[in-house]
Chains A and B, each alone.
Chain A
């Protein structure tokens, strides 16, 4: 019984840490999808860029962890504004196929550039001393970094949700997701709103990539390899939803960890089947509007 209990705690803990990273990366994708109906498969590129910038700033230039994260998030957000204004914006009215092809093209280019600059090997994450090792909670101890990861992510998520619920900007975003034309008629500048939201989502993804470098290894194939996870979170949560992806990320993170821990032979198998089954039951996702 004790073994069972301790295993469940471990699974829950590591699953939760994984879920936080998944959510922080994917929430931007969900909002982009809901706001602009844009199928941005290249969303993982922003997370990858965040991871590379964070690790490089720390390992090569000795920037402290916190500053490196903020720097990566801001840099990626700025880069995404440039991309959004010059490239993405031209395809808002275009068909889904065009958007998919364009974003796949971006992934291919990003993968090549990253390989050229950083080489094919995964980047190492050198954690600051204060965050490495174990932390003792009395009944058992947990890895400090993962504990910190869960805590800081929860803070971020609360800030994000409050921002969406309580601020003027958040209200505008919600209005535009619900009914863009109505929002425009009311004088909301949706073009500017898109750019800001896109930058926010990309910045968050970069933050998630940097924070989660320990869990989702930073290597050139990142944007391809984890794409299906990001898409699953968004599809299961419901496109355009803010909270849906959170529930989806927790379900996915915990069950993925559980199956990889308990039955490594079947691995990611069960997850795919569960997701397929869930979408058969609710094609629009858990919190999506059909």
Chain B
């Protein structure tokens, strides 16, 4: 591991002053960053420890949503009564990720910024366009069982590993940040950049920006939401496919639906095409399947990740069918 400086900060201006160094990284729980430093994938010269910034609260907003501070731990997010009541899929998504130990350490800000677990990205002896731009993507002809089927490019087919972000995408979360030039915000839909030919550029955050929190707009439909994650063992593994779903049905018709997919793209995949074709139509398994097919028509599969299309389709149909049946009771 490269030697590095360490600076603990207690207010945002200090964090930004130290974070302006292009070789600095903000340190939250360290559950991903320290790991990447040990394996030589990331080599910062300075760690700016932001855990003691006053950004550890979850508060109701005036409009009826929630504001979640960037240093709130995954554990506290998932245990919070208002998160569990208003956005149960978000609590479920966070609980589906990592282990109890890691959720106690990991923060919301760090969760948004975690890096892909693609085996070529995390192995610094391998080429990887995300790690070394222009070096190539061995995954496309190599091990890509858990790689992207949507929105990828010939330069990178890695998936974003966060469960939390999938639920945030379904609920139109907004990411708030601070820079030396003042605050800014990005809707989650614009937070992660398209892959294109620049897979090393992952977010639209300005250089040196510090994520300060997330807001969730009010979403009554989210009260009837859930997150389901498929993985290769029962617990403590990354997703091979996941879905966050929320459904509001009246008289057999879909009034509102939210769908986002995980482990299928370089970012959480909001399924807007599926939502569009469902809204106003019948809440039947047939319609749910048609909607999933519409969204997944854009899928571009590789030899070993073709299974994800059926996996996600089946998840969508099962989850929306369950939600519709519960609404009918």
Q: Judge: A and B partners, yes or no.
A: no
A residues in contact (CB < 8 Å) with B:
none
B residues in contact (CB < 8 Å) with A:
none
